Amino acid sequence: MARIIALLSLLIALPVLADTPQPAAPGQKAILVTGASTGIGRRITEKLAGDGYFVYAGARKDADLKALGEIKNVQAIRLDVTKPEEIAAAVATVTQGGKGLYGLINNAGIAAVGSVADTTLEEFELVMAVNVGGPYRMTKAFLPLITAQKGRIITIGSISGILASPDLPAYSMSKHAMEAFTDSLAAQMKGTGVQVSVVEPGNYDSRIGVNAAKREGIDNSRADRSKYKKPDEVAAAVAQALSEANPRRRYMVVPNQQEAERTIAKQIEQLVQLNEGQPYTYDRDELTKMLDAALATSQPKTRPETH
């Protein structure tokens, strides 16, 4: 009886795979992508698999697991980033796969639409559990494997974490938290060979709005994001952060100049607010010197100007 109970416990602990695990080619780097079923996560999975990485693609629904498992170089695993038992099972699967883990892409995320007054505490806590707790749990669980390969940890943030939309307080808070998470983690990883980045998309096509509207039971006409560009540029930024020798700490990826300008202007506005009216206020010349020093270490434009 004890052996039967032990066997059942082991089976319960293992993740449900969408298909027979695909063998990884010799020397193939393994990457884990959370929230891989649709939108940005699905496009990241397709891009990395097409580039020759072996991708563990995390999803929750059977249909999504099956679809992901049919992609070459992809092994789908059942993974809810709020459930410690599924994270532990994913660690076991990756470890048993024998390829280790070079990269973790913390992509899984949800949105909540509504003001502070209108958003329920349950909805707020769910957003934090997925968007903040998820990357924290996943990183903590997979850090030994990534450190062993001197790999990469990339979190999908958002320009909403800087702009702080009035209709998305919980979501904006969660993405702002990823700014601090990235910087703190990068400081901790200094000297280990592990590189840490955050990719911050603007408005791209995804189901995050529709899913939020459906979950909250509200009108989803404004939540439909199909009018926006497909997130190919976001996936390309993730691939860049994985492959370049000296990845940037932040990759802002926006579909147009207007979103870029709004985001940078917001950061400057916050700088001015921090600087004003305090005993150690810097004047314009001093601030310019600081800016020049920071720009001296920055990378040049990645794309030529268009006219």
Residues belonging to the active site? 171
- Indicate if the alpha-carbon torsion angle 240, 238, 149, 75 is positive or negative: negative
Strand partners, 105: 33, 154
Q: Tokens for 213?
A: 């509207």
| Cα–Cα distance measured from residue 40 to residue 234, given in angstroms and rounded to the nearest whole number | 7
Rg (CA), the chain: 21
In 3D space, the residue among 169, 179, 90, 89 whose CA is nearest the CA of residue 132 turns out to be 179
In 3D space, the residue among 101, 86, 95 whose CA is nearest the CA of residue 14 turns out to be 86
| Cα–Cα distance measured from residue 31 to residue 74, given in angstroms and rounded to the nearest whole number | 10
